[in-house]
Amino acid sequence: MLKRHARAACTALAAAGLLLAGTGGAIADSAPAAPSAAATLRTADAPPELLAAMQRDLGLTPAQATARLAHEAEAGATAARLRDRLGAAFAGAWVDGADAGTLTVATTRAADTAAIRAAGARAKLVTRTLADLDAGRAALDRGAGAATPVRYVDPRSNTLVVEETEAGAAAALLAATGTDPAGVTVVRTAEAPRPLCDLRGGDAYYMNGSGRCSVGFPVTKGAVNGFATAGHCGRAGTATSGFNQVAQGSFQASVFPGNDMAWVAANTQWTATPYVKGSGGANVQVTGSVLQPVGASVCRSGSTTGWHCGTIQQHNTSVTYPEGTISGVTRTTVCAEPGDSGGSYLSGSQAQGVTSGGSGNCSGGGTTFFQPLNPILSAYGLTLKVSGSDPGPGPGPGDPEPGGTWKAGTVYAAGATVTYGGSAYRCLQGHQAQTGWEPPNVPALWQRV
């Protein structure tokens, strides 16, 4: 976790619970063509500050940075459609190349390779399904301790990865959980992740006048403005003040460990905006919350180290901090330092999650983990503040949209089904629905069934 304050205060707060095949149906000839994934995610609108940071941190040319965002959006949609088609045989997907121009999809079924290639992706035949590997990681989580602080699925190698801080710790964990070593890669690490303790995403806020964290993403809940952030930054009732030390609000709910999620309700002096603080303090717009694939670029904003970029390494990672284990976080190559906790991760203009913790620093490099945003929005009934769309109050709770069960403001996970306009659709990529993203309009997010 990445929260800044005095060491003694950090320890006390930690003990208190501080510190994400087609459209499936024909559209009438007279209807306009549905937008591409890149158009849906508005990659062409990426601000210069974001593109400049990608060039700096990922070693890209201007053309590669622009192309990368578009390729990542299309790769995410293609991978989602293939995951839906392959079913239980699906074994993961990732992008490679400076401009993310190569998508690889893994399967355990040889008969799937032709369909993967036909979709424009590279096929890889492996022995373990993603579901099997995830089950193995969950078993390791139950026996893991401080000496094996990080466990995740690596789709590229089709193995589980266990990081150990002491020689033999991983072997002992495998023996204790009955895990076959043949499917596990052990990585020795010198540093264990820790909390980096110390209403625009990335701005500083202060807890009870002492500890400092970073705003994740501005949200609304009914008429209340606020923001999503990391659970380790405070418990329900913890008072907050803003970057300017003006009274701001209080934590309404918080979970840590287990997950690392929370939200703060602000007072009437604060208004949620659809922005994250970018390089030099510039506003970077947020237009949605579609989680991007492994290998995709991601940039982070925090109140200590500002704006830094890297790539997504693995989703659904488990990390054991001194305060306990959290699951379902995403591992990245982005650096962070104390005080960055709770801050925003963006891929293009798509909100990804809030900073949880990590190791290393922004001088020598490091690894960080973010809590995906969509589970926070869903758990607390929050609406992400986005640029260019304001659906308003809409129907009351439980009321269906005029077109069916699809409803703006709802967080949909991959595999969820809805009806709209008399047809059924299945969600391909997890996201919070918004006006303009109705299922027939966004084949990158929904497939007709």
Q: Of all helices (H) and strands (E), which one includes residue 116? A: helix 113-118
Q: Of all helices (H) and strands (E), which one includes residue 160? A: strand 159-164
Q: Of the candidates 255, 219, 201, which has an alpha carbon nearest to the alpha carbon of residue 381?
A: 219
Q: Of the candidates 12, 19, 71, 67, which has an alpha carbon nearest to the alpha carbon of residue 340?
A: 19
Q: Is 260 a catalytic residue?
A: yes
Q: Is 71 a catalytic residue?
A: no
Q: Is 341 a catalytic residue?
A: yes
| Helix, strand, coil content of the chain in percent (nearest 5) | 25, 35, 40
SS3 42: coil
Q: Of the candidates 412, 442, 448, which has an alpha carbon nearest to the alpha carbon of residue 41?
A: 442
Q: Of the candidates 323, 391, 324, 384, which has an alpha carbon nearest to the alpha carbon of residue 354?
A: 384
Q: How many CA atoms lie within 13 A of 2 on its CB side?
A: 38
β-partners of residue 262 are 229, 254
β-partners of residue 118 are none
Angle at 45 between CA 368 and CA 367, to 5 degrees: 5
Q: Which of 198, 260, 279, 318 is catalytic?
A: 260
The residue type found at 213 is C
Q: Which of 341, 344, 349, 356 is catalytic?
A: 341
Q: Which of 5, 232, 308, 431 is catalytic?
A: 232
Catalytic residues: 232, 260, 341
